Amino acid sequence: MTSLSQIAWDDTVLPFQLDRSDIRGRVSRLDGVLEKILTQHKYPHPVEALVAEATLLTAMIGQTMKLRWKLSLQIRGDGPIRIIATDYYAPTEDGTPARMRAWASFDAKALSETDVPFSQIGGGYFAILIDQGEGTLPYQGITPIAGGSLSACAETYFAQSEQLPTRFAVTSGRSQLPGEAERWRAGGVMLQHMPKASPLVAKEGEVTEGQLLSASDLLQGDEEENWSRANLLLDTVEEIELIGPQLAPTDLLVRLFHEEGPRVFDAQPVQFGCSCSEDKVRQSLSIYSAKDITHMTTPEGIVTADCQFCGAHYEFDPATLGFEAKKVTGDAE
């Protein structure tokens, strides 16, 4: 039997604010979105764990995007897990769901089932990209892979790039409700100190060149005390409270932060969604020469392409691909 709490809160991001502490945040529960992303790829466990964490982080960060904006999270490393990429497509209209997708690339032979998943990324970078649409230049912020988790990387990103103290508490895994099949669930809380009218600056003399900033470098006085108190309260959260489904996010916020005056806003629903299409794949192949297209052509005389995110399969007549074909078509028109 599915609980009312589960019906109401699965695949949602709930924004909130702690009025007494000048802190904002998001609570997210992912169920069907994560199940769709992970089951269609059948990743090894270390890859699944990191894709789940990255997807949850993307949902909470992406909730702030304006209509029709796109937020992407990219992790690239030199270890067995080479790439993790997620996309959050903000709603096209108020009240409609956001769409999400995710994908990973890895070296199956070098992957260890027993080593800590994060350690198998190796050295590399964690990046957040924001695309505001046609006619604008995408924004990109990058921070090194460090801190022991993707959540820690995201916290460092906000401290470095936005100078906003940020904290994540996340968990994910496979769970099974009575009478139902086992499936993926993830849940998390994001805290972020409210931005000031002008950018926060690190405390004078406390940060040396090349050092990564942290929340303690950006706050002082009452701000630092409020931030520390909120973090201590978040430290008491239990994994079962994060993924539910018996505890509603609103009840969780009251349990954790009732003395901080939590105020919630409209929840944002999310669903799986991919932006691939035959036209977009054809456009991506338009940069290749006829010789390149010949090398891509199968013995059956077709060029095939599969979407890394959703697995959609496309087939093309090689004579219609490449920049030579595009030029001929343009001339004919």
Q: Range of 286's domain?
A: 278-332
* Shared domain check, 173 and 307: no
Residues 85 and 31 placed together within one structural domain of the fold: yes
- DSSP summary character for residue 162: I
DSSP state of 66: P
On whether both 81 and 116 belong to a single domain, the answer is: yes
Boundary residue ending a domain (272, 301, 320): 272
Residue 286's Cβ-count burial label (10 Å; 0-12, 13-18, 19+) is: middle
Residue 43 has pLDDT above 50, yes or no: yes
d(Cα 214, Cα 285) in Å, to the nearest integer?
Answer: 43
Return left, alpha or beta for 179; rule: phi > 0 is left, psi -120 to 50 is alpha, else beta. left
pLDDT tens profile 44-89: 999 999 999 999 999 999 999 999 999 999 999 999 999 999 999 9
For residue 34, what is the domain's CATH number?
3.55.30.10
Residue that is last in its domain, among 248, 272, 296:
272
pLDDT by residue (tens digit) across 271-281?
999 998 889 98
State whether 137 and 171 are in the same domain.
Answer: yes
Going along the chain, which residue ranges are E strands? Answer: 12-18, 23-30, 70-77, 81-89, 98-106, 124-131, 139-144, 166-175, 183-193, 262-264, 268-272, 303-306, 313-316
Give me 20's structure tokens: 């007494």
Considering the domain architecture, whether residues 307 and 243 belong to the same structural domain is answered as no
When pLDDT is averaged across residues 164-179 and rounded to a whole number, the result is 87
Please check whether residues 196 and 312 belong to one and the same domain. Answer: no
Cα separation, 303 vs 290, in Å, equals 12
**Both 289 and 309 in a single domain?**
yes
Please give the average per-residue pLDDT across 285-306, as a whole number.
88
Residues 88 and 109 in one domain: yes
- Based on the structure, what is the number of domains in the chain? 2
Residues 268, 288, single domain; the answer is no
**What DSSP element (H or E) covers 204?**
none
Which CATH number does the domain housing residue 316 bear? 3.90.1280
Q: Helix 32-39 and helix 45-62: axis angle, to 10°?
A: 140
Q: Distance between terminal CA atoms of the chain?
A: 59
Q: Which residue has the higher pLDDT, 272 or 4?
A: 272
Q: Given pLDDT bands bounded at 50, 70 and 90, which one contains residue 287?
A: confident
Helices then strands, counting H and E runs in the chain, come out as 11, 13
Q: 133 and 246 share a domain?
A: yes
Residue 313 CB burial class (10 angstroms; 0-12, 13-18, ≥19): exposed
Token readout for 15 is 């924004």
Task: Give the pLDDT score at 175.
Answer: 78
217 and 328 together in one domain: no
Last residue of a domain, one of 251, 272, 293: 272
Residues 258 and 303 reside in one and the same domain: no
